A and B are shown apart, each in its own frame.
Chain A
Amino acid sequence: MTSTPQRVRPRRTDEPARIPQRDRGKLGYWLYLIPGTLLVGLVIFYPIVRNVRLSFFHWRGGRAPEYFAGLENWVALFSDQEFLQSFKNIILVIVAMVIVPTLLGLVIAALLFDVVGRRFGARLSSFLRATYYLPQILPIAVAGVMFSWILKPNSDGVLNQFLTVLTGSEVEINWLGGQYSTAMASVMVLMIWIQIGYPVVIFMAALQRVDPQLYEAAELDGANWFQRFRAITLPMIRPEVFVVALTTTIAALKVFAPVFILTNGGPSKSTYVPSFYAYQEFIRGTDKGYAATIASAITILVVVVAIIFIRVQNRAERKDA
């Protein structure tokens, strides 16, 4: 019988296929990987190889000749004001896409689950959850156009109209094109608005794992909502907090559409993010080698962040075990 419990897991690479083998052994399974491998090679790895190679050349594009540049492009990156500015902005993007949504998401999820769900009914809480999630499935471009309408610089803009009514005098602030602070803040508000539903849904699902008796016991013991949140909710959903932080950080490093639609990088290139900068350089720049360097740098950063996160998570899991 095969049901003898295995004490020691064999090396994973030597494990047999899960369907008993009669014919060609495992070789036949490789056939199933052919379409996927060809596609990923063509669409993902060919561009990676081509861009990394190009980052060591100067190239105007088209039929122009390539000139070997060595590390010139990579060195230039570190004294490029626009590139450095785009990375400063990424920190603000991380605040808007990772930190604020995760913190707000924790509070909202706990509110919906612990108070609304238990005391006012599960239907109301799942309705509110769906509402928070709605911006997540809206195309970012559509959300961006909606916000750019609200933030229009003249009296067509909703926000300006509001302020005009509130202050009693004509307000015409150029939110998106006037100055860096309002432009960047607008981009951040859009990101928070889009992002908030994701942690709410993930955290609420995680809370379902928690034994409700735990809450009731704490409640009987006189623990208030905040104490329950700190002592029960937070420790229980730590793995999910981690996953949300990882996935949204990676998304933040790759962010493009909100900036493209709201500010187009302006005013005077101050709201550039790395993706937008690379895109601009590919389209309007004079050196595709340099554009490829920017894109490669972002790719390396994303992969490094992903590896660090996974390492830390594995270590945390081992500690828990």
Chain B
Amino acid sequence: MTAVAQAPAPAPSTDGKDRRNKARPRTVAEWVMLTLAVLGALAIVFPMLLLLLNAFKSPQDYANSGPLELPQALSFEGIRTFWETQNFPRALWNSIFISTMVSIIAVVVSVLNSFAIGIGRVRGRTWIVLVFLMANLVPQEMLFDPLFQLYDDMGLLSNPWSVILTFVVIQSAFGTYLLSSLLGTFPKEILEAASVDGATRWRTLRSVIVPIVRPTLSVLMVFFFIWTWNEFLLPLAFLNTSDSLTVPLLLEQLNGERQTDTTTLIAGTLISIIPTIIFFLIFQRTLTRGITAGAVK
């Protein structure tokens, strides 16, 4: 590439240059580019701002005013209707229960798998990782009908465990892949020291390896939680009674009902976003750090 060659080797002293870079006034072009970046971010949050602006309008107010106008009076009618006609707390609990169970169990399964693959170096482990990764590749419509019949036979339909079981497998596929390469480079000296001290494998895993990789495990848990929370197709197929719905399913169902008033729908959408926003604020750092963990080794 000829373009790269044009960049000269940096001069030995960087100190003075750094100062010069900071001191240099910002150019017009830089302000323009900042404005573009901010406008782009505004475009991203714009739909959510619209929700906030319109969720507190009464139906009459909504019908008579533009979407960008402030509500004439703060009305909680939409929110009250949503709360009274839908069992949102139940859906919230279902989502929390399913996502929590999946993130815990999937991390345990990932650790067990990757212990055999990364530490135990069992024969054919490249293939084993690929077999597990299939769980991540397979489109969900391939799983949906056979699993529906299977869970029907087991009496698990509309039971949160049908979704938990399924997503433990799908999420632990990614966990196994990530942890196997991490444990493959686990410091050998620590393992040998544990062995000299007479620790069994199980003991080494539980008391030595897991505490050391705990930061990675908690990042994985956060991601498994969100991924499971956001799932749609398979929960839609498996959870059919009104008290087994998750938050996305509840909102989708409300959206599908013809008689739903628009302000109720707006209020419901806003309320459904709130748990995600809270989660985002708590785990923002973990999230932005974590997304890149699996990307490029």
| A contacts, CB < 8 Å to B | 2, 12-13, 15-20, 22, 26, 28-33, 35-36, 39-40, 42-48, 50-51, 108, 111-112, 115-116, 118-120, 126, 128-135, 137-142, 144-150, 152, 155-156, 158, 161-162, 165, 193, 196-198, 201-202, 205-206, 211, 213-214, 216-221, 223, 225, 227, 230-232, 235, 239-240, 243-244, 250, 253-254, 256-257, 260-261, 275, 278-279, 282, 288, 291-292, 294-296, 298-299, 302-303, 306
A230 to B1, CA, bound (A): 11
A306: chain B residues at CB < 8 Å are 137
A13 to B3, CA, bound (A): 43
Other-chain contact of B122, A29, A118, A137 (Cβ < 8 Å): A29
A45 to B288, CA, bound (A): 33
A253 to B140, CA, bound (A): 11
Q: Is the CB of B137 within 8 A of A214?
A: no
Q: Is the CB of A119 within 8 A of B26?
A: yes
- Which residue of chain B is the closest to A237 with respect to CB atoms? B296
Interface of B is mostly: helix
Q: Is the CB of A296 within 8 A of B295?
A: no
Given contacts A134-B280, A161-B67, contact A221 B141 (CB under 8 A): no
- Interface flags for B99-135 (1: CB within 8 Å of A; 0: not) read 0000000000100110111111111111010011011
Q: Is the CB of A132 within 8 A of B8?
A: no
Q: Is the CB of B142 within 8 A of A298?
A: yes
Other-chain contact of A279, B144, B247, B252, B262 (Cβ < 8 Å): B144
Q: Is the CB of A139 within 8 A of B44?
A: no
Asked if B212 is at the interface (CB within 8 A of a chain A CB), the reply is no
Q: Is the CB of B291 within 8 A of A120?
A: no
A115 to B23, CA, bound (A): 15
Question: Can you give 16 A-B contacts (C-beta < 8 A)?
Answer: A12-B126, A26-B120, A39-B165, A39-B169, A39-B172, A47-B142, A118-B21, A119-B30, A130-B280, A139-B247, A139-B248, A146-B269, A198-B291, A216-B14, A216-B18, A232-B7
- Which residue of chain A is the closest to B290 with respect to CB atoms? A201
Q: Is the CB of B124 within 8 A of A130?
A: no
| B contacts, CB < 8 Å to A | 1, 3-4, 6-11, 14, 17-18, 21, 26, 29-30, 33-34, 36-38, 40-41, 44-45, 47-48, 50-51, 54, 62-63, 66-67, 109, 112-113, 115-126, 128, 131-132, 134-135, 137-147, 150, 165-166, 168-170, 172-173, 176, 186, 188, 191-192, 194-195, 201, 204, 226, 229-230, 232-233, 247-249, 251-252, 254-255, 262, 265-266, 268-269, 272-273, 276, 279-280, 284, 287-288, 291-292, 295-296
Other-chain contact of B7, A35, A155, A214, A282 (Cβ < 8 Å): A214
Given contacts A36-B109, A158-B67, A201-B288, contact A26 B122 (CB under 8 A): yes
Q: Is the CB of A295 within 8 A of B7?
A: no
B62: chain A residues at CB < 8 Å are 156
A202 to B265, CA, bound (A): 34
Q: Is the CB of B265 within 8 A of A149?
A: yes
Least CB distance, A265 to chain B, in whole angstroms: 13
Top 4 closest A-B pairs, CB basis? A29-B120, A141-B248, A47-B146, A205-B292
Q: Is the CB of B191 within 8 A of A30?
A: no
- Which residue of chain B is the closest to A257 with respect to CB atoms? B232
Between A142, A232, A243, the greatest number of chain B beta carbons within 10 A of the residue's beta carbon is seen for: A142
